[in-house]
Amino acid sequence: MSYLPATQSEGYQRKLEFVFFGTEPAAKRNASSPRKTPQKTRKSSDLVRQRQSQEQSSKYSSSITILPFINEASDHSLAAPQNRSGYMALLRERYVPELPKFTCERGELNGASWIATACSLALKSQHSEMLSDSLLAMSLSLVGLDRHEGELSTASLKQYSRALNGLRSGLAPRPSGLSQHQVNAALVTSLACGMYEMMTNKSLSALMHHLNGVSAILKTRGVENLQSDSSRRTFYEYRSIHLPIALSTRKANFLSLPKWINPPWKTLEPLSASKLGTVIDIGFEIPVLMEKFDNLQQQEQIASVPDMASQMNSLILDGLAIQQAFNDWERRIRGRDDMPSLYIPRQAKWSALNLDVESNIYPISFDFANWDNASGLSYYEMLQIFLNTLLIDIKTFARRSNIAPHALAAMNSQILAQNSIDCADRICQSVEWFLEDNKKLIGRMVILAPFESARALFARLSLEATGEASQDAFVGERAAHMGGIEIVEGVELTAAEGEQSIGIP
């Protein structure tokens, strides 16, 4: 089960999650979405039941008018503008709803702003036809899977092929020769096509292929030329997807460069000031350290001890500086409040979400005041797990190599390990919030990579017995129960060709 990228391509990471509705039994979903019956013979009682079902299903969504549309439009040509618009509206309103707005220092944002931006862009000019096709393919695929209708899935494949052909034609002049609107449409279409591959074919390699396309367009255009809302929001969406990939592959790329962390237009883009955006700014420094440490280990046989000690000391100091940056980030978002105000405890209800977790493992789950807190904190916990593991690995390597850099004394492996376990616990206790209510698709996208990092940590620690019976039992219990949860059905969160897990290396 799982998802996560870690191949060389940069993918619709992680944020890379997509098969994401299935928290209700299929029979129940189908009951709330009756098939079309001839208008003349439909009984009034059936209409009443259908209307009641639609009202119930709209409890967390604004898509009341969308559900009957599917029944009426599925027999009509998708060439009709109103039918295409209706299916894309369903994608936006039912599967990636506009979550409650949150306010950051640079403006108001919605949790699903990227899809909203994409749908708006699809309504503009002739260059957006390929984007419209890709969004329509995503919507048809989701509806087809949800309603178990093969005809809709087949129709989605046709629209996806049209989108691919349009994308190839649109990129023929090379990104440097495209207009701003063509670049916007190409960026969003590439990302949407990658999402389609994950949703329909559960193909990580195809996703990576499309994400490489996003990367190529961004690098060719340059960060200073991302002048539109859609291009900037696609950039931030892509960034949040690529970070877990960079962590799992232990390779930095252009997104870690200062000019991409602090683009010249940063103060104009509200997403850059969100909690998720600001913690990712810090997080992109971790793959840089990972790559340096891996290179250092390869030099062990040829480098002098003083040189190794100097390089290792520099790595440790850089790692501790990142740790301090995370601490400062937490204090900044906490303000005068304490952590319980960010993580709001409540009684867990795993069984209501069809998640096979015994209540005694996590009897308490967490609620969040808003989407910004939830998404930012989930990545914050994940990034701490990766950083703590890296620092512990550096210390272990130093001792094995009989090297004693001065900064080593500032590290306590036991404290780092316990901090990682605490982070993993908070991630697992946050899963419910991301899977319930109206957060279906977008919630699974965001929590997937953090959850995989937590699960991988428990799995690794369960194999490394500490000798303390209570601690080993604690970790083993969590490893066993978290191993059965599927955030995204049928998607394996592994790295390139299955060589590496997205979790802890």
Interval 278-300: pLDDT, tens: 999 999 999 999 999 999 999 88
Q: What is the DSSP string of 172-228?
A: TT-GGGS-HHHHHHHHHHHHHHHHHIIIII--HHHHHHHHHHHHHHHHHH-GGG--S
Residue 321 confidence (pLDDT): 98
Give 208's pLDDT tier (boundaries 50, 70, 90). confident
Residue 101 confidence (pLDDT): 62
Asked if pLDDT for residue 49 goes beyond 70, the answer is no
Asked if pLDDT for residue 93 goes beyond 80, the answer is no
Q: What residue spans define the domains of the chain?
A: 282-498
Which amino acid is present at 363?
P
Round to whole Å and give the CA distance between 171 and 370.
39
Residue 235 confidence (pLDDT): 93
Element (H, E) at 339: helix 339-342
Interval 313-351: pLDDT, tens: 999 999 999 999 999 999 998 875 555 578 999 998 876
Residue 72 confidence (pLDDT): 45
Round to whole Å and give the CA distance between 194 and 44.
43
Which amino acid is present at 100?
P
Using only the alpha carbons of the chain, give its radius of gyration: 24
Give 17's pLDDT tier (boundaries 50, 70, 90). very low
Residue 468 confidence (pLDDT): 76
Interval 441-484: pLDDT, tens: 677 778 889 999 999 999 999 888 776 777 788 888 888 877 66
This prediction has a pTM of: 0.77
How large a percentage of the chain has pLDDT more than 70?
67
- What's the burial of 477, exposed, middle or buried (CB within 10 Å: 0-12/13-18/19+)? middle
Asked if pLDDT for residue 136 goes beyond 90, the answer is no
Residue among 233, 145, 141 at smallest CA distance from 187: 233
Interval 79-89: pLDDT, tens: 555 556 666 66
| 17 vs 350, higher pLDDT | 350
Asked if pLDDT for residue 495 goes beyond 80, the answer is no
